[in-house]
Amino acid sequence: MRGSIRKRDLGDAGDHVGLAYTTLAPVDQGGKVPDDAKDPWLQRLAAIAITPDYRAHIDAWIASFARTPARMFTLTLDARLLIGHGNTSGTDVGLTVHHTWGVPIVPGSALKGSVAHHVAAAYGADPSVTTPDPARDPWRGVGWDETAIARGPGERYRALLGAPDADDDRLTGAPGATRGYVAFHDALYLGRASPGRDVISPAPESTRPFAADTLTVHQKPYYDDRGQRPPCDHHDPTPVGFLTVRPGAQFVVVLEGPPDWTALAGQLLGAALAERGVGGKTASGYGRATLKEARAPAPPPSAAVAGFRTWLEAIAGSVLQRDLLARIRDEWLERLCALSDGDRTDAAALVRRTIKNDKLKPQVDALCAQIKATAP
């Protein structure tokens, strides 16, 4: 099996860039892609188109949050994105993509880490200052003693992002390891950005989100020896090719939790992406992005709600609204109350849009309350 995979040509890699990047790399006996083969290989990788079937997946993902209190955003790249550069790869620079679909993603852990770094640096207390600071202490980050956790974070940081277990917390009475109020989902690829779009929807014309890039290391011996040898001008530069995500690519970000906390998390994430970026090489400007709140498209009505709408449209103009209200109560109330939460909400909205007589408003309110009540 492994031999068959190695013999496959990159042109037969299908539409999964991650599979081609990790499994079908034209590596030599040392497990590296030869320099003369690297650029053509990366260009062929960047030309692989995303499967059209991915549209159904992202549509279903977005629709799953349409009736939830989750807060949704679009993340638009202002610069190239390098995610997962520490992963194993034939180019020495890794790549993180969706395991099933091969599209770029921004892991929720990366988004959360970007917020955590931004909060601690911009709002938290200076770790070198030991005197209390009531304004900044609640936002301080996790304290470290080299690689060990020495102190838990401040209470506001802890509430938003959670906290690890720390010895000092047990001494001070802090709750120790806790989870934050906000859950950061992986950001999934939408396509190229569409200006002014406030309803989240994929852009089907955007099928090639990746681009080849090059990092040139000018002092390789200096880095290889961890600074034991001084850098010298006569050292040959070493170009390293890898894949990045193109600027302009757009992702959908979903934050779940109490509304006030997801609103705060969204503000902080937007600032972190604009000022610090996400992923690798952020010091060189990679990973900068713009975050904008958006909403999921309204889900299509169920067959039951569609049937109720058809019935209303058929008889609404032929009977008095008082009689229509009575018929809804007698003929439909039991069926509507048995529907799902979202369908009951839609049915109640149909009743309000159809019966507009101000004198019947108290009765309409009562009927809608019955429809929207939890089914037995």
Tell me the C-alpha distance between 310 and 141, whole Å. 57
CB-based contacts of 331: which residues, under 8 Å, 6+ apart?
Answer: none
The alpha-carbon radius of gyration of the chain (Å, integer) is: 27
CB-based contacts of 165: which residues, under 8 Å, 6+ apart?
Answer: 149, 152, 176, 177
pLDDT score of 73: 94
pLDDT score of 364: 93
Structure tokens at 231: 């850098």
pLDDT score of 278: 94
Q: Which residues of the chain have pLDDT under 70?
A: 1-14, 89-91, 169-175, 193-206, 217, 299, 374-376
pLDDT score of 7: 47
**Phi, psi of 146, rounded to the nearest 5 degrees:** 60, -110
DSSP 3-state of 281: coil
DSSP 3-state of 148: strand
Counting beta carbons within 10 angstroms of the beta carbon of residue 120, is it exposed (0 to 12), middle (13 to 18) or buried (19 or more)? buried
pTM: 0.75
User: Which DSSP state fits 131?
Assistant: S
Tell me the C-alpha distance between 11 and 238, whole Å. 28
pLDDT score of 219: 73
pLDDT score of 323: 92
Q: 57-111, pLDDT tens digit by residue?
A: 888 888 888 778 899 999 999 999 998 887 776 667 778 889 899 899 999 999 9
Q: 254-305, pLDDT tens digit by residue?
A: 999 999 999 999 999 999 999 999 998 898 899 999 999 988 777 677 888 8
Residue extents of the structural domains in the chain: 2-107+186-294, 112-183, 303-372
Selection from 154, 173, 171 nearest residue 116 by Cα: 154
